[in-house]
């Protein structure tokens, strides 16, 4: 037995009417009886298509300023009635309830109204009641009814009407029902978040849009990005962005947003392997690359300035996977696009979330993003020798990098250039030794460099080792019961130290 059903009647009640005209014309072509309300009814009439007012069906007018229009047994009965249920059909006949085979709804724009800064009264009026009820009713009865829950799916319906000449299969109806519950659950989550405000008593997050990635971190893992990357970037060139690319891109954006002055950073596996702040962009690139030209291979480049042709020419001398910038000057794109797969992202202005989530065990962890940016006036010198103005600039530079590196981490910097870092180590001493080894590998002299740590020094050993390499200034959060050991060593060896009071662990 065929599960195809012909659409004979439709109820249309929408907020956005864009692209609705083609659907109405197609329904007219198939002889579908149309019911509608308010502005949607007027829109359909202006198209020259016959339409029956819901008020004529229910014999009740729209009341309470439009709050109650479709909430009536003659509407919901026609949607929820099971066509193969004898009892339902008898009651339909008894109460003169017509069957409704297609429901098209587009909800009041609640999220847009909240985002606009509208007053509470206006926001409350944009909580759709009738529309959300129609969506749930029609989706529940997908065996017999098609539900189109948003303007986003108008084209899907039009394609179905054209392909199947006004009929639908059970799979078609079930697919639209799935979309409907996605729309209704997202809508309700947005309303909950509005009422909850800063109350995090319950976890409710919903993202529309899913981009299926080639795979996850590894080829045997599935990967999907939920969200809308087009709000964040214009991809001007290159291959499809991967799961690992996205992790690196996220880390790159978090790091570059720490800096106001002209800065270039190079990242590999979510950590900076090169970074420099300069007055000149090409010089910032050259000094960032000098920090670790080996790790830069295949990395992600990010800058907070428009990339000019000269800088693009220098960048193009090495292989890298992704470059992110707020703009590209004349001739720069032509140079960077010479590599077919290179991902080139033009960053857009957008407000990013201030919170983070992570699945752990059988639940979800929540935290505020670490958005603390230490300023020079917030540093507390704890040694007899206070850091100089130039050292303070380097301390703040290094602290931004260590904050955005995997713990345990140590950063060595001088002249607003990342010299080397030790990252992701189980021991802070090992992190420092790794950083020193890298600095030596690239022939950096550590005399006059500064050292930053993402957490306090439980012992003076790191300070002692750093001093032996020529480091003469240190920044860390402080807070160890042995802080005085490190301070005493610094005082005895003419080193300067400042504490921030803020730890920056990153896992």
CB 489 within 8 A of CB 496: no
Instruction: Report the alpha-carbon angle 442-446-448, nearest 5.
Output: 145
Partners of 367 in the beta sheet? 356
Q: Can you list the alpha helix ranges (DSSP code H) found in 385-458?
A: 389-403, 428-441
Which residues, at least 6 apart from 238, have a Cβ–Cβ distance to it below 8 Å? Answer: 322, 340, 341, 342, 343, 344
Q: Dig out the tokens for 189 from the structure.
A: 């989550």
Per DSSP, the three-state class of 301 is strand
Tokens of 364: 């979800």
Pairing of strands 496-499, 473-476: parallel
Catalytic residue among 140, 237, 283, 339: 140
Nearest to 400 by CA among 245, 261, 293: 261
CA distance 483 to 375: 22
**C-alpha to C-alpha distance for 254 and 258, rounded to whole angstroms:** 7
CB under 8 Å to 14, separation ≥6 — which residues? 20, 40, 104, 105, 106, 151
Nearest by Cα to 374 from 351, 402, 408: 402
Alpha carbon distance 201, 216 (integer Å): 31
From residue 459, alpha-carbon distances to 365, 423, 428, 467, 478 in Å are: 31, 19, 10, 14, 11
Distance in angstroms (rounded) separating the CA atoms of residues 353 and 342: 27
377 burial class (0-12, 13-18, 19+ CB within 10 angstroms)?
A: exposed
Question: Catalytic residue at 269?
Answer: yes
Rg of the chain, C-alpha, whole Å: 31
Instruction: Report the alpha-carbon distance of residue 107 to residue 461 in Å, rounded.
Output: 63
Length of the chain equals: 507
Q: Is-contact 296 273, C-beta < 8 A?
A: yes
Q: Which of 8, 164, 269, 283 is catalytic?
A: 269
- Kindly list the catalytic residues: 140, 269
């Amino acid at each position: 037995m065929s599960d195809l059903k012909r659409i004979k009647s439709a109820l249309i009640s929408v907020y956005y009417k864009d692209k609705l005209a083609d659907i109405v014309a197609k329904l007219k072509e198939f002889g579908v009886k149309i019911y509608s309300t308010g502005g949607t009814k007027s829109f359909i009439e202006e198209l020259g298509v016959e339409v029956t007012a819901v008020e004529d069906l229910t014999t009740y007018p729209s009341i309470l300023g439009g709050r109650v229009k479709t909430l009536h047994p003659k509407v919901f009965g026609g949607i929820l009635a099971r066509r193969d249920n004898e009892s339902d059909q008898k009651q339909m006949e008894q109460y003169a309830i017509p069957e409704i085979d297609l429901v098209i709804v587009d909800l009041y724009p609640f999220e847009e109204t909240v985002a606009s800064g509208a007053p509470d009264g206006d926001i409350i009026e944009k909580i759709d009641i009738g529309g959300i009820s129609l969506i749930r009713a029609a989706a529940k009865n997908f065996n017999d009814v098609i539900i189109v829950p948003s303007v986003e799916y108008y084209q899907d319906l039009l394609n179905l009407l054209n392909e199947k000449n006004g009929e639908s299969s059970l799979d078609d109806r079930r697919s639209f029902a799935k979309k409907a519950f996605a729309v209704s659950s997202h809508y309700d989550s947005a309303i909950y978040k509005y009422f909850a405000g800063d109350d995090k008593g319950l976890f409710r997050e919903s993202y529309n849009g899913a981009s299926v990635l080639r795979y996850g971190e590894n080829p045997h893992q599935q990967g999907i990005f939920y969200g809308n990357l087009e709000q964040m970037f214009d991809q001007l060139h290159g291959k499809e962005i991967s799961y690992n690319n996205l992790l690196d891109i996220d880390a790159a954006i978090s790091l570059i947003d720490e800096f106001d002055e002209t800065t270039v950073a190079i990242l590999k596996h979510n950590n900076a392997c090169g970074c420099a702040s300069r007055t000149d962009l090409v010089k910032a690139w050259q000094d960032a690359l000098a920090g670790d030209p080996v790790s830069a291979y295949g990395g992600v480049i990010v800058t907070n300035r428009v990339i000019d042709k000269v800088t693009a020419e220098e960048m193009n001398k090495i292989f890298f996977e992704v470059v992110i910038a707020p703009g590209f000057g004349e001739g720069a794109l032509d140079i960077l696009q010479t590599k077919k797969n290179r991902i080139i992202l033009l960053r857009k202005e957008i407000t990013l979330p201030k919170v983070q989530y992570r699945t752990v065990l059988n639940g979800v962890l929540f935290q505020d993003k670490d958005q603390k940016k230490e300023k020079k006036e917030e540093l507390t010198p704890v040694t007899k020798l206070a850091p100089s103005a130039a050292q303070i600039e380097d301390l703040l530079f290094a602290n931004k990098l260590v904050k955005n590196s995997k713990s345990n981490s140590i950063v060595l910097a001088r002249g607003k250039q990342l010299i080397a870092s030790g990252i992701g180590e189980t021991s802070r001493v090992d992190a420092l030794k790794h950083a020193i080894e890298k600095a030596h590998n690239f022939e950096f002299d550590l005399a006059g460099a500064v050292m930053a740590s993402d957490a306090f020094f439980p012992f003076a050993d790191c300070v002692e080792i750093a001093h032996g390499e020529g480091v003469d200034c240190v920044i860390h959060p402080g807070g160890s019961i042995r802080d005085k050991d490190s301070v005493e060593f610094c005082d005895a060896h003419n080193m300067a130290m400042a504490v921030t009071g803020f730890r920056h662990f990153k896992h």
